[in-house]
Each structure stands twice: as structure tokens, then as C-alpha cells.
Amino acid sequence: MLWISLIAAACVVRYQYPKLKRRKQLKELWLSASILVFALGLSVAQSFHAPIPNPLDWITAIYKPMSKVVLSALS
């Protein structure tokens, strides 16, 4: 699985980098590279069975105190 991710990332870089560089779209190039590195990092972490936090846990942590306030106000 790790090799598939690396090969796919290399193909994306080979396809996108020349186009963006030729058109002088440097902001888009940096954004694309940043997203690719982040996604590749998550893929590598998942292939090594590292614990990856679920975004729903973050949302729950943010809204839990507000739900307690709302429930106490309505009770």
C-alpha cells in the first residue's frame, strides 16, 4: 500500500509540476505540494498503523461544552 501511494504521488508531481511551473502559478504549486505532502504523510502513517485522530473527535471536543450549556438552559 505504501508503494502505491508513493508511485501515485510521483505521478501527480510529474503531471502537475511542469504545467504549474510553465504557467507561473507558484501559489497553486505550493498549495498543491502542501496538500500532497499532507495526504502522503497520512497515507504513510496509516500504512504503519499509527493512530490517526478522527476529525469527528475534534468536533465533539469543541461542541461538548456548548451542548452542556444549551442542555442546562433548556432543562
Residue 47 near residue 5 (C-beta atoms within 8 A) = yes
Whether residue 21 is predicted with pLDDT greater than 90 in this model: the reply is no
pTM for the model stands at 0.68
Whether residue 37 is predicted with pLDDT greater than 90 in this model: the reply is yes
Q: What is the mean pLDDT of residues 20-38?
A: 90
Beta-carbon neighbour count of residue 34 at 10 Å? 10
Q: What is the mean pLDDT of residues 50-73?
A: 89
Q: What is the mean pLDDT of residues 1-13?
A: 87
List, in order, residues 6 or more apart from 12 with CB less than 8 Å away: 36
